[in-house]
Chains A and B, each alone.
Chain A
């Protein structure tokens, strides 16, 4: 692996790490709300959250590029404030990845929260636990499998994204050039050996990650041993 590949790996891990962190913070309250609400707006939200599952990544990337670019609502506003627009930046990539990986965080969490049920939180309420206390000491431990699944899938899915990155991020080494782009570059320039190293490593790493996840989830049921 050349130094540019190492840089791409670092960018990839940073992107996946930051995206996962952002999604834990955003996705947890969103999933909690979706699991508990009886509002009809929840249906619309569910459809929106699921969109990245069915859309070609280029569609998402295309609109984000327009939105974040110098002429877009967000990018344009930033520029008029004297800041730089977000197209072809690491921050833009994080925003794009957050949207793109949203269902991988929200859906497992929502299912986990729904499975905890209201009975457990009601029991906790009659045992003097306030709302935050209930969430931390009852809901979180009972949905930890959901969290593990959500975090792992989000991370892995972000590592594996390509289309969105290509549209929004481009190919700037150290900033937006991630592994999937590097593999594409190697293949384009007929450097199959280098492509193999990266592609094979990614395949092996992803497989191992999922293997560990499912093994843990199977061994550690929510209930005590």
Chain B
């Protein structure tokens, strides 16, 4: 922030005096802003600057500045590695699966909740279905591991429907499904809040008018309710697009094991293992992480651009 001020100071003479006046006049505000600015510089911008190590052969002893530049070496190394396709495939696979199954779930749930006539029953359902959101990931994954084990309760239930008695979490082909369904279980209630908020914003007059026009409940859903929450859906979709190239590593790390890497290992968990968990390839893992966040940013801005163009909804007003 200070750097921005300084550079403009050089361009326009006389600005120095104005800055000094501003600093004196608003000295208390600057005092209060100082810890905030320090926080963002130290914990957000310093690591962002630290990303240059993706283009350097970073050595701890030499530090960020003195390490040797290597250009795109680590990016090329990643793209050429056997892991690359598997990781991108798994990341996109889990993301898309989660998007297709997990994105509509809270919307449908909110629409159904909205149709409940008894407000007391509605509140009870809401209170109960929000609960899993607050359970820690460690506990959730502990429960998943236990329930899907060969002796686990879900395995037992699956066996009633003709499933095999195996440790489902240990079988690569079930990993994505377990990941996505448990996500839905944990998030469906909480995720519906934002749509319920949008639903409560729809004017009752629209429904009255539709009733007068003879529209039934289903017709009202299509003609009034869905258009009413469409902007919220679009915004949530844009945000999801910006996450398409990333799958949160926390849940993956808690659930996967070397036996399921082929379907479970995603870019972020790989970055964790190479950079911190198993080895300390700082430059290489930073490069892989950077590749992921750049793609995400492009997807987010792209989705936002399309949305602005075609529906007028945008993240940035």
Does B bind A? no
Please report A residues at the B interface, Cβ cutoff 8 Å. Answer: none
